[in-house]
Structure 1
Amino acid sequence: MVIKIEMLKYFVAVAQSGNLSDAADKLGRTPSAVSMMLKQLEDHLGAPLFESDRKSKLTSLGTFTLDEAARGLDHFQRTSSAIENYAHAKSGFVRIAVVPSVAGTILPEVVERFLEKHPNVHIDIRDMDSAAVHRDIISEQVDLGIASDVDIESQVESKPLFSDAFGIVCSNNHPLTELDFPLDWSELHRYPFIANGLCSQISDDAFQSVFKASKLMVRSTTSLLALIKTGIGISVLPKLVVDNARGDICFLAVNDSTARRHIAILHRANTQLSPAIKNFEKTIQDVVSQAN
Structure 2
Amino acid sequence: MARSGNLSDAADILGRTPSAVSMMLKQLETHLGEPLFETDRKNKLTALGAYVLEQAERELQQFDNMVKAIEGYANATHGHVRIATVPSVAGSIMPVVFSKYIKDFSKMDIELRDMDSNSILHELSRNRIDIGIATMGENSAGLHSQHLLSDAFGVICHPSHPLAQNRGPVDWQALTGERLIANSLSAGIDVPACKTLHANALLTAQNLTSIMAMVHAEIGITILPEMAARAANATGLIFRPLADSLAKRQIHMLRKREAALSPAARLVEQHILACTADMIQGPTA
CA drift of 1:43 comes to: 5.7
What is the match of residue 257 of structure 1?
Answer: 245
What is the match of residue 11 of structure 1?
Answer: none
Match status 1:224 vs 2:211 = yes
Contact 2:167 2:240 in 1 (8 A): no
Contact 2:148 2:252 in 1 (8 A): yes
Query: Partner amino acid for 1:291?
Result: M
Deviation per residue, 1:46-98 (Å, 9 max, x gap): 66544555322334543332232122222222222233323323332222222
What is the match of residue 289 of structure 1?
Answer: 277
Query: Partner amino acid for 2:119?
Result: A
Contact 1:242 1:249 in 2 (8 A): no
Q: Distance in 1 between matches of 2:20 and 2:261?
A: 43
Contact 1:185 1:206 in 2 (8 A): yes
Q: Distance in 1 between matches of 2:147 and 2:27?
A: 59
What is the match of residue 268 of structure 2?
Answer: 280
Contact 1:191 1:234 in 2 (8 A): yes
Query: Partner amino acid for 2:143?
Result: V
The correspondence for 1:165, drawn from 152, 177, 194, is: 152
What is the match of residue 235 of structure 1?
Answer: 222
Alignment of 1:89-168 (within 5 A): 89-168=76-155
Structure 1 pair 30–283 and aligned structure 2 pair: CA distance change class (3 A): farther
Secondary structure in 2 aligned to 1:172?
Answer: coil
Q: Distance in 1 between matches of 2:62 and 2:87?
A: 44
Structure 1 pair 29–111 and aligned structure 2 pair: CA distance change class (3 A): farther
CA drift of 1:102 comes to: 1.0
Q: Distance in 1 between matches of 2:101 and 2:31?
A: 50
The correspondence for 2:52, drawn from 54, 59, 65, is: 65
Match status 1:210 vs 2:197 = yes
Contact 1:186 1:207 in 2 (8 A): no
What is the match of residue 26 of structure 1?
Answer: 13
Q: Distance in 2 between matches of 1:147 and 1:225?
A: 22
Structure 1 pair 53–148 and aligned structure 2 pair: CA distance change class (3 A): same
Structure 1 window deviating more from structure 2 (79-88 vs 40-49): it is 40-49
Contact 2:212 2:234 in 1 (8 A): no
Secondary structure in 2 aligned to 1:261?
Answer: strand
CA drift of 1:233 comes to: 1.1
Secondary structure in 2 aligned to 1:15?
Answer: coil
Structure 1 pair 61–123 and aligned structure 2 pair: CA distance change class (3 A): same
What is the match of residue 74 of structure 1?
Answer: 61
CA drift of 1:44 comes to: 5.0
Structure 1 pair 53–251 and aligned structure 2 pair: CA distance change class (3 A): same
Alignment of 1:168-179 (within 5 A): 168-179=155-166
CA drift of 1:197 comes to: 0.9
Number of matched pairs: 279
The two structures, once aligned, show a CA RMSD in angstroms of 2.4
Deviation per residue, 1:161-189 (Å, 9 max, x gap): 11121111212221112357322112212
Contact 1:154 1:269 in 2 (8 A): no
